[in-house]
Structure 1
Amino acid sequence: MKTMFNKPTVPPQRHPAPGVRVRLTSLCAGYPGRPVLDQLTYDVRALGSTALVGPNGSGKSTLLGVLAGVIRPTSGEVVHGGELRPAFVPQRGAVGDELPLTVRQTVEMGRWGGLGVWRRPTRRDRAAVDEALDRLGVGALAGRQLGELSGGQRQRTLIAQGLAQESDLLLLDEPTTGLDPEARDRIGSLLADLAAEGVTVVQATHDLDTARSADACLLLRDGLLAGQGRPDEVLTDAALARVWQPA
């Protein structure tokens, strides 16, 4: 819930190698009294999509939080390339139905980080919101309350909020979970288009078909890196069996 309202701030310490959007080195992270990620080293490549795959509790959401800047590493290093800050799209269940927000107001929150407390939205801010609404096909729903939407409409609204930030790094936590096949395909096609246009897309997913359509895959188990590389190399039957077998 908190991440919906606060635009993450991750000032780059220095630029990683060309072609790398984020470099993780010996990363450890978690929560008070509960470590999650352990010695994770990985390069998130620019100009493509990366799928984070693993069972519940494997560290996918924690890793997204680290990439977004809302979870601080306990040790190790996170180095971002580029000047734009990441846009984080939480699971749709993290946003309460009771919030008295319209679709447009929800998407406008994506511009808050650059507005400051008293600044009024500029023409550019309004244009970015309009473009995001149209891109996600929710412009006609702009005046509807968030709680009135279907699951697919609601998820597209949250992605539009992230898109309105005009970031070069889009982070998504289970963006298609619980959606019907048509809604999943629509969101999948949109994310593929964004990656082709130069946005680095990183999404946590349980959907292996979605993961196999990504450019790269990170396989996690118990906060450890169990595999990395192309999906066809990482998501083998043997590797998936090892990761999902009972501890």
Structure 2
Amino acid sequence: MLQLENVCLQREGRTVLRDLSGRFPPGSLTAVIGPNGAGKSTLLAALAGDLPPASGRIVRAPGLRMAYLPQISALDRHFPLQVHEVVALGLWPQLGPWRGLSRAQRDQVQAALHEVGLAELARQPLQTLSTGQFQRMLFARLILQDAQFLLLDEPFAAMDEPSTQDLLALLQRWRDQGRTVVTVLHDLAQVREHFSHALLLAGHAVAWGPVTEVLQPAPLQRAGYLLPALHAHTLRGHCA
């Protein structure tokens, strides 16, 4: 579905990730992990198409439907919208700028809200939502996007434990439906318990494969988990 071929990524002229090659197994849950500055969010932006590689290439299957959820801190929570209106944006490719929702589409919105436990808050303004409720709403929008490949950047940051467990269960359902999910995470216990694969970054791919192989002491130490954090500015080498 999606493959990286010797990808090198830069931001503001600085190399953040280099020499990255591999593929995400279809129908897998992959956790992208690594110390601060390892290039995790940069990678997701590139996979989503928001950041072109400085060198190498990212190959996507023709017609691949993708959805991208950036970090919640990057989202504006002050738009004068209600919860159901934000969720309905997941149907945007079907609607375009001028068409209203059909009865069937309104039912889809309500069903997505019900699946994430927000059915009773459909008419609430965004400003009234807690962090957990806001993230649940964004997951409802993802449901309506019906993507084959989902990119989630720290989706459980600052969330309460019940909300986190509910959304982790939703990821499991997506996997069971054959969807591929790539998620930036910091909690290695969550990775061990809920994810099948992991990509360990430290400016390059330290390890990439089944979780049981990646979360071993040696690769974690090489990535800086047991040593002072390795930041991107310490990278040697540049994009070709």
Which range moved further: 45-54 or 173-182? 173-182
Choose 203-212 or 32-41, whichever is displaced more: 32-41
Give the Cα–Cα distance (whole angstroms) in 2 for the partners of residues 99 and 105 of structure 1: 11
Matched letter for residue 200 of structure 2: L
Aligned residues: 226
Corresponding residue SS for 1:164: helix
Q: TM-score, normalised by structure 1?
A: 0.85
Question: What is the 5 A alignment of 1:210-225?
Answer: 210-212=190-192, 213-222=194-203, 224-225=204-205
1:80 aligns with 60
Equivalent position amino acid for 1:220 in 2? L
Structure 2 counterparts to residues 154-233 of structure 1, below 5 A: 154-212=134-192, 213-222=194-203, 224-233=204-213
Q: Highest CA radius of gyration, 1 or 2?
A: 2
Q: Displacement of 1:112 after TM fit? A: 2.0
Q: 2:2 aligns with which of 1, 15, 22?
A: 22
Residue 36 in structure 1 maps to residue 10 in structure 2: no
> In 1, distance between residues paired with 2:156 and 2:139?
11
* Mean Cα deviation higher: 182-191 or 93-102: 93-102
Percent identity of equivalent pairs: 39
Structure 1 residue 178 displacement after superposition: 1.5
| 8 Å Cα contact 1:87-1:163 kept in structure 2 | no
Q: Which AA in structure 2 matches 1:135?
A: E
Instruction: Calculate the aligned-residue CA RMSD, in Å.
Output: 1.7
Q: What's the CA shift for 1:64? A: 0.9
Deviates more, 1:28-37 or 1:158-167: 28-37
Q: Distance in 1 between matches of 2:104 and 2:55?
A: 39
CA distance in 1, matches of 2:4, 2:160: 34
State TM-score, norm by structure 2: 0.87
Instruction: Find the residue that maps to 2:24 and give its secondary structure.
Output: strand
Aligned to 1:45, the other structure's residue is in SS state coil
How far residue 107 of structure 1 moved from its aligned partner, in angstroms, is 1.0
Q: Aligned with 2:37: secondary structure?
A: coil
**Aligned residue runs from structure 1 range 2-13, under 5 A:** none
Q: Take 2:214 and 2:75, find their aligned partners in 1: how far apart are those partners?
A: 32
- Structure 2 residue ranges without an equivalent (≥5): 231-240
Letter in 1 for 2:168: G
Q: What is the Cα deviation at residue 99 of structure 1?
A: 2.0
Q: Which residue does the alignment assign to 2:238?
A: none
After superposition, the Cα gap between the structure-2 partners of 1:90 and 1:118, relative to the gap in structure 1 and judged at 3 Å, is same
| CA shift in 2, pair 1:154/1:241, >3 Å | same
Counterpart-to-counterpart distance in 2, 1:123 and 1:28: 46
Cα distance, 1:33–1:50 mapped onto 2, change above 3 Å: same
Q: Kindly provide the amino acid, as one letter, of the partner of residue 79 in structure 2.
A: L
Deviation at 1:127, TM superposition (A): 4.0
> How far apart, CA to CA, are the structure 1 residues paired with 2:195 and 2:133?
23
Cα offset for 1:237? 2.4
Q: After superposition, give the CA deviation of every residue in 1:85-113 in whole Å (9 maximum; x if it has no partner).
A: 21111222222232222111111222224
User: What is the rounded CA distance, in whole Å, between the counterparts of 1:30 and 1:108 in structure 2?
Assistant: 34
**For residue 68 of structure 1, what is the aligned residue in structure 2?**
48
Match 1:151 to one of 113, 128, 131: 131
